[in-house]
Amino acid sequence: MSLASSAAPLPRRTGLFDLLRPGARAAFMILAVSAVLLLFLAPIIILVVTSLRPGWGVYYIHRGTEFTLANYVEVFQRGVVIEAFFNSFLVATAATILSLGVTVTSGYMLSRFKGWLPKTWFTSIYVFRTVPYISWVLPLYVVNESLGLYDTFFGILAAHVAVHVCFFSWIMKGFFDGIDPSMEYAAMIDGCTRWGAFRRVALPAAGPAIAALGILSWLWTWNEFLFALILTGNRTPLLTVTMAQFVTELGTEWNLMSAMAVMAMIPAVIITLFAQKYVIQGLRI
């Protein structure tokens, strides 16, 4: 008998969780999951309850039974709120479509091509991504003001698309790196051009990733505040800026702000629920 076979197996280390009884393990897991859910759901619950409380009761949401829908009615009666919802939806959708049109081809070029052009493009977006996000605001404001694009849809769209292209091109490159290029080579051997192989082979394979990227892009633009605050005004009111206008010199109207925040969450929650499988599939590529 060899020395290796005769050696006794090392004892398995037992952790604190292994020392618990099965019933105690189940109770521990239930408590842990409940704590995590409470951590993430507590702010949403407080927001919803605040939106249903009268103005004088927002600081006492933990007690009292006075609830009302008047906050939602009052918010909807302000015409700028409806306009802000429409403008935000339009900007988020347009920015997502335009940025995907650039980032998909940009990510494919960075993944499949070699040479000075992809290297120059990669270096450019890398340099732009190293710049802190907040420091983009002043240059963009100066450019928009000098070109007459301040407080216009084109001005805010250009800013969002620029940020999306610099950030999401990296993500699309990673997605295309995970796709085997042999099918594209086979398509080109059969007579397809590089563009045809991209359109018929690579693009369908990256469909879930593109869908996931589109959802993340839309949600980011829908919730963005800094660009909307600096680059827009009264002509193009957006959702996040309009929500901040409930902070006045007389105080903060927490009940109205919460009601508008709950209404702003509804489209994002619906899109996330229906598109959750596409996000998971895209992140697995």
CA 145, CA 174: separation in Å to the nearest integer? 36
pLDDT at 9: 53
Q: pLDDT for 210-236, tens place per residue? A: 888 888 889 999 999 999 999 998 899
Instruction: State the residue range of the domain holding 210.
Output: 77-282
Domain boundary residue among 5, 39, 71?
71
Q: Is the pLDDT of residue 95 over 90?
A: yes
Q: How far is residue 212 CA from its own chain's centroid?
A: 10
> Is residue 231 within 8 Å of residue 150, measured between CB atoms?
yes
Residue 39 sits in the same domain as residue 150: no
172 and 200 housed in the same domain: yes
Residues 93, 223, single domain; the answer is yes
Q: Is it the case that residue 19 has pLDDT exceeding 90?
A: no
Residue 180, domain member (yes or no): yes
Whole-structure pTM value: 0.80
List the Cα angle 263/266/271 in 5-degree steps: 150
One domain for residues 218 and 259: yes
**Domain contains 152:** yes
- pLDDT of 252 over the 80 cut: yes
Question: What is the average per-residue pLDDT within 94-120?
Answer: 88
In this prediction, residues 182-189 reach a mean pLDDT of 85
Average pLDDT score over residue span 63-75: 83
Q: How many domains is the chain built from?
A: 2
Mean pLDDT of 176-183: 84
State residue 85's pLDDT score: 92
Q: Are residues 88 and 51 in the same domain?
A: no
Do 29 and 102 lie in one domain? The reply is no
Query: Is the same domain home to 90 and 152?
Result: yes
Do 60 and 85 sit in the same domain of this protein?
no
The 10s digit of each residue's pLDDT in 197-208 is 888 888 888 888
Residue 121 and residue 38 share a domain = no
Q: Which amino acid is at 121?
A: W
Q: Is 258 a domain residue?
A: yes
Distances (CA, A) of 230 to 115, 146, 151, 216: 38, 14, 9, 22
Radius of gyration of the chain (CA): 26
Q: Cα–Cα distance between 24 and 30 in angstroms, integer? A: 10
d(CA 238, CA 91): 9
pLDDT at 3: 47
Q: In angstroms, what CA-CA distances link 192 with 11, 183, 186, 206?
A: 61, 11, 9, 18
83 band by pLDDT with thresholds 50, 70 and 90: very high
**Per-residue pLDDT at 118 exceeds 70:** yes
**Looking at residues 92-118, what average pLDDT do you find?**
89
What pLDDT is attached to residue 89? Answer: 93
152 with 274, same domain: the answer is: yes
Q: What integer pLDDT is reported at residue 21 of this predicted model?
A: 61
Task: Give the C-alpha separation, 27 to 9, whole Å.
Answer: 33
Residues 134 and 63 in one domain: no
Query: At 281, is the pLDDT very low, low, confident or very high (cuts 50, 70, 90)?
Result: low
In this structure, are 181 and 61 located in the same domain?
no
